[in-house]
Amino acid sequence: MTAENHETVRIAAYYRWEQRGGIHGFDVEDWLQAEKEMTN
């Protein structure tokens, strides 16, 4: 994964966390979903 892709996934995962209301404990799920969305 390039640094640019990593940053894109990081931002997407952060937005998923914000949409969830900032609830902790779903970081891996959010990250994997963001990665999956990038490849589609």
Q: What is the pLDDT of residue 1?
A: 75
Could you tell me the pLDDT band of residue 36, with boundaries at 50, 70 and 90? very high
Checking if the pLDDT of 24 tops 80, the result is yes
Give the type of residue at 30: D
Q: What is the pLDDT of residue 40?
A: 77
Q: Where are the domains of the chain?
A: 3-39
Please state, in angstroms and rounded to a whole number, the distance separating the CA atoms of residues 6 and 24.
Answer: 20
Please state, in angstroms and rounded to a whole number, the distance separating the CA atoms of residues 7 and 11.
Answer: 6
pTM given for the model: 0.82
Rounded mean pLDDT, 18-35: 94
